[in-house]
Amino acid sequence: MEKLKHLIKMEDMGKRDDIEALFELSKAIKENPEKFRNQFAGTGKRIATLFYEPSTRTRSGFHAAAHELGLGVIDETAESSSCLKGESLEDTIRTFEGYCDGIVLRHEDTKAGNRATAVASVPIISAGCGKGEHPPQALLEGFALNEKKGKIDGLGVAFEGDLKNSRTAHSLIKLLSLYKDITIHCSSVPGLELPKEYVKLMEERGTSFSQCSPQDIPRDVDAIYMTRVKQELLKNKKHDTQRYFMDQKRLDTFSKDTLLMHPLPRNAEIPSSVDKDPRAVYFKVARDGVPTKQAILMATLQDELSL
C-alpha cells in the first residue's frame, strides 16, 4: 500500500487493491492488537483532531486508535477554537501543522478538506466534511461487510433515509462501486435522494442501481444501511419519514442473513428494541472500527507499511 498523502475523498485511497490492503492491515491489527501497539511510542509523533461539528464515534475512535499506536493527540473542537473569534480554517490548519504530524478534520463545509489540503504540509484525514464524504467511516463499514459476508463482490446493499446529506453513505457507495456485480437499492425519503454525481459514478462503474420504496427492498438483500434524516441541515423543512423506520416487525420480513447497519447516531429510525437482534451490527461495527482507524493512521504517518 502506498503512503496516503491525504484522505479527503474515497479516490484518495487509490484502487480496489489499496482498499483491500487497508482491510488486510485492519484485520491483522484486530486479530493481534499487541503486535501493533505503541508502534509510534518514543517517535514524538502526534495527531491533531480538529472537530468543528459534534462527534461521538469518529473523534473518540481516532483518539482510541492513536493511543493504541502510541501517538500523541491534540484535541480541538469548535468551542475551544479561535474560529469563534473569526479565525479562518486555513489559518488554523497552518498553526496546527506546526504542532502535529497529521490532522483529522471534521467540518460543516463540504469543501473544508480541499481548503485544508491546499495549505497543509501535513496529511489531512477528513472525518466528514459537510454533505460530501466521510472516507474513514466507509472504510470501516467496508471492512465490516467484507469480514461478515466473506467478500464484497456480488453484494446487494440497500441504503435508506436521507441519502442526499449522508456523507457516510456517499463514501460507502463509492467504495462498493469499485467491486464487481454490486447492486445498490436506494430507498430515499422523498426530497432527500442520492445526489446525481453518485448515480453517474455507479453507471460508469457498472454498478446496478435502483431507486425504490421501503417495501420494495428485496427481502434477501445482504445489508440494509439506515441513515438518520439530518434535521439540523434541513432547518424547519419537514419530510415525511414515517415509512423509513426499521422495527423488529419490518426486520423480520428480511432474510436471517440481512445485516442491519447504521453509521450512528440514530434518531427514531431504528428503535433500541432491535439492538438485540444478531443482524443489528451497528455498535459492533463502531467498536471494530478502531483497528481500521489505526490502519488509516499508519497508512498516513508511516513510511514503510507491512503486516
Selected from 26, 39, 49, 137, the binder of ligand NCD by CB under 6 A is 137
Q: Please report whether residue 164 would count as binding ligand NCD according to CB under 6 A.
A: no
Instruction: Return the amino acid letter for 202.
Output: M
Q: How far is the CB of 121 from ligand NCD (least distance, A)?
A: 26
Q: Site size for ligand NCD, by CB under 6 A?
A: 12
Q: For residue 57, state whether it binds ligand NCD (rule: CB under 6 A).
A: yes
Does residue 167 bind ligand NCD (CB under 6 A)? yes
Does residue 155 touch ligand NCD according to CB under 6 A?
no
- Give residues 183-242 in contact with ligand NCD (rule: CB under 6 A): 228, 230
C-alpha cell at 111: 469543501
Contact between 146 and ligand NCD by CB under 6 A: the answer reads: no
The number of helix segments (H) and strand segments (E) in the chain equals 10, 9
Only one residue has cell 483497528, namely: 291
Check: CB of residue 33 under 8 Å from CB of residue 291.
yes
Taking CB under 6 A as the criterion, the residue among 6, 45, 107, 134 binding ligand NCD is 134
Task: Work out which of 264, 270, 281, 285 binds ligand NCD, going by CB under 6 A.
Answer: 264
Q: Toward ligand NCD, which CB reaches closer, 123 or 263?
A: 263
Distances from the Cα of 89 to the Cα of 54, 75, 93, 147, angstroms: 17, 15, 6, 37
The enclosing H or E element of 261 equals strand 259-261
102 binds ligand NCD (CB under 6 A): no
Cα R_g (the chain), whole angstroms: 19
Buried b (16+ CB within 10 A) or exposed e, 62-88: bbbbbebbebbbebbbeeebebeeeee
Among 263, 290, 295, 299, binds ligand NCD (CB under 6 A): 263
Q: How far apart are CA 149 and CA 286, in angstroms?
A: 17
Q: How far is the CB of 31 from ligand NCD (least distance, A)?
A: 24
**Residue whose C-alpha cell is 446493499:** 157
Q: Is 294 in the site for ligand NCD (CB under 6 A)?
A: no
Please report whether residue 142 would count as binding ligand NCD according to CB under 6 A: no
Q: Applying CB under 6 A, which part among 40-48, 151-159, 262-270, 290-298 lies near ligand NCD?
A: 262-270
The cell for 1 is 500500500
> How far, in Å, CA of 156 to CA of 178, rounded?
14
81 vs 231, beta carbon nearer ligand NCD? 231
- Residue number of the CB closest to ligand NCD reads 263
For residue 195, what is its C-alpha cell?
445526489
- Using CB under 6 A as the binding rule, whether residue 132 contacts ligand NCD is answered as no
Taking the alpha carbons at both ends of the chain, their separation in whole angstroms is: 11
Q: Is 174 in the site for ligand NCD (CB under 6 A)?
A: no
Which residues bind to ligand NCD, rule: CB under 6 A? 57-58, 128, 134, 137, 167-168, 228, 230, 263-265
